[in-house]
């Protein structure tokens, strides 16, 4: 290295900000700690080490020049993996209504079984009186369904109204001479 290049390299440190110098010191000291901690030929990096380098890569523009223990592509892969894990955690399935406890569900079923003529609005009102706050649609969801037809069948109607049925002939057919039979 020539004298001019060495001088320019040294002057570069004068124009750097203090924050950048401190970040470089943290990065170099961390690498010393990692190499002294790993007594084997292969370095052992923990999840905290990976998180530190992913954070440095995100926050500091000159992190590649201070990195000596692993490749920069490895750090970028750690950063991408952390980003994927974060968004997997962030987008986990948490939508919808909160779950109704088993005690409330059994109470709704018992009340609907004991009072088959009560609908969801009435059961909802009774639960509110007890201090249990659930929506009316939730009450309707957990009510016991009573197996009965919506109305009586035709056969039942005829059986019930047989005494009141009157037969009447309303169809009149005139003869050829236009007389009524």
pTM of the model: 0.40
Residue keyed to tokens 């990692």: 34
- Angle at which helix 47-59 crosses helix 72-90, to 10 degrees, equals 100
Which pLDDT belongs to residue 122?
94
What CA–CA distance (Å, rounded) separates 67 from 126?
68
Residue keyed to tokens 């009316």: 136
Tokens linked to 52: 């530190």
What CA–CA distance (Å, rounded) separates 20 from 56?
11
Closest CA to 65 of 38, 39, 31: 31
- Under 8 Å between Cβ of 136 and 121: yes
Greater model confidence, 99 or 97: 99
The rounded Cα 153 to chain-centroid distance in angstroms is 47
Q: pLDDT of 64-76, one tens digit each?
A: 888 888 888 888 8
Q: pLDDT of 43-57, one tens digit each?
A: 788 888 888 888 888
- Under 8 Å between Cβ of 75 and 81: no
Which pLDDT belongs to residue 15?
65
Is pLDDT at 3 greater than 90 in this prediction? Answer: no
- Under 8 Å between Cβ of 63 and 57: yes
Is pLDDT at 28 greater than 70 in this prediction? Answer: yes
């Amino acid at each position: 290295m020539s004298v001019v290049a060495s001088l320019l390299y040294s002057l570069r440190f004068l124009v750097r900000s203090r924050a950048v110098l401190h970040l470089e010191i943290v990065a170099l000291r961390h690498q010393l700690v990692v190499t002294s901690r790993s007594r084997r030929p292969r370095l052992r990096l923990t999840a905290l080490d990976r998180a530190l380098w992913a954070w440095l890569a995100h926050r500091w523009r000159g992190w590649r020049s201070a990195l000596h223990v692993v490749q920069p592509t490895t750090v970028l892969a750690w950063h991408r993996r952390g980003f994927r894990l974060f968004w997997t955690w962030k987008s986990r399935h948490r939508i919808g209504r909160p779950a109704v406890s088993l005690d409330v569900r059994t109470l709704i079923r018992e009340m609907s079984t004991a009072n088959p003529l009560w609908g969801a609005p009435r059961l909802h009102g009774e639960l509110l009186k007890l201090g249990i706050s659930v929506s009316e649609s939730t009450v309707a969801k957990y009510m016991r369904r009573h197996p009965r037809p919506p109305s009586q069948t035709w056969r039942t109607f005829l059986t019930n109204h047989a005494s009141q049925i009157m037969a009447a002939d309303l169809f009149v057919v005139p003869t050829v001479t236009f007389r009524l039979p």
